[in-house]
Amino acid sequence: MSTDADPHTSSVLELVLTAVPSATLLGARPFEAAAGSVAIVAPCPGRALVESFARHGWRSVVVEPGAARQPSVLQERFAAGAHADVVEHRGSLRRTVKALRALGVSAVVSGSAAGVELTERIAWQLGLPRADPETSRLRYDRGAQAAALHRAALPAPRGIATTSLTEALAWAGTHPLPGYVLAPAAAGVPVEPVVCDGPAWIGSAWPAMVRAAARHGGDTRLLLTERLSARRFVVNSVSRPGADGRTDHAITDVWAERRAWDGTLDRTDLLHPQEPLTRELSAYMLRVLDTLGVMCGPVTARLAREENRGPLLVSALAVPGTSPADEALRRATGCDRVTDALDTWNPRPPVPFLRTPTGHRIVRVHLHPSSGAASNPALGAVLRRLPTVSAAGEDPPAGCGSPFAEVVLSGADPDAVEADYRAIRAVERAGLHEPVRV
């Protein structure tokens, strides 16, 4: 990226440097959650989830499926530390459950798509609330999800999940469409989908996509779907056993994605819960959760919405997610992801899912540094001093979550938030990320 700023960029930077007071970064307050031990199965690299649970008074027990049973990107050994123990699952569910009981585990969550099936089997053996382990693919496999929605007469994208290129090409031949998208079938895998114009493109992209899916998700099933030009949304929910054997689902927050002219993710905006669009997406998602057999814990779903078809499920993943925006979300809405996830396992009478929206605007601004680029410390400091910045990271986080660096804006004044969004883009154009010279 060029370090030469245009006149408009320079004027914005001058205003930022001279008129913006230093912002105080938001800090987490202590929460009233019962301390205990939570097992995290097949977590992504890094300690974000462990540290989130620790801040709420819970100790983590990391369950590693073993090198032969997990994706290569997850095979790095997790180091036990002040807030975590490690148990290796070597194929014997009985022995793994025995070890977890000895460590006092009272909750089990998956740390990635690769851990969903084992998570549900462990929960079953521990007698904890759980979904049916025989249908685990519904909670992480996009092909299984689309098939289930079609059977339930719920709108879903057209496509096929398969390990066979021949089958994929045959489906494309019987479903001539303006464009297709090829991606891993497992949800949440950090592999960029490939847009294909026809069979030749599909065949060309297939081998590399198989390798990427195996490396990052441990599953070589790919999903070939219709290309959707619709707007995209992220819907987060939490579920727990309710009265009379029913499951209570709550939609906690809904976000709208905006993309730049070249298709890259530009920003993600929190939608107000009373907006008609939020209500429409939430109503659809509640039906999806029932169809996918979700019974306990958090789910992050990605939806598209077309004018003539309404909401469409792109993916759903039963994994507790964390992001730099979590603290801003809690302050703005009363929604705390970790507390919600832990309360679903709590044997005491659960606290009702009550939210207290403040009307604060929250925007997650996504940055796209080129490979090998490093952030400029001086410009990074300018960025952090913007009035509505509540969290900032100029470099992409480690792990298997979002591949983007991001800055979180939060404030009661929408105009102030938008002004800071424009200032961030000006700082970015001025050289926030510079090529590393060797």
Q: How many domains does the chain have?
A: 3
**Within a domain: 60:** yes
pTM of the model: 0.86
Which of 84, 74, 191, 137 shows the shortest CA–CA distance to 318? 137
User: Which tens digits make up the pLDDT trace of 139-186?
Assistant: 999 999 999 999 999 999 999 999 999 999 999 999 999 999 999 999
Residues 49, 81 within the same domain: yes
Q: Which of 191, 226, 261 is the last residue of a domain?
A: 226
- 170's CB contacts (< 8 A; 6+ apart) are none
Residue 220 belongs to domain spanning: 158-226
Q: Which of 87, 106, 128 is the last residue of a domain?
A: 128
pLDDT at site 72:
58
Residues 89, 171 within the same domain: no
pLDDT at site 47:
77
* Confidence category of residue 246, pLDDT binned at 50, 70, 90: confident
**Within a domain: 201:** yes
Report the distance separating Cα 437 and Cα 428, nearest Å. Answer: 19
User: Which tens digits make up the pLDDT trace of 36-79?
Assistant: 899 999 888 777 888 888 888 899 999 988 755 556 555 555 55
Structure tokens at 263: 């298709």
176: domain CATH number is: 3.30.1490.20
- Percent of the chain at pLDDT > 70 equals 81
- The sheet carrying 180-184 orders its strands as 159-162, 222-226, 180-184, 194-196
Residue 271 pLDDT greater than 80, yes or no: yes
**Within a domain: 63:** yes
* Confidence category of residue 29, pLDDT binned at 50, 70, 90: very low
Residue 13 pLDDT greater than 90, yes or no: no
DSSP 47-61: SHHHHHHHHTTEEEE
Which of 378, 426, 431, 376 shows the shortest CA–CA distance to 11? 426
Residues 382, 405 within the same domain: yes
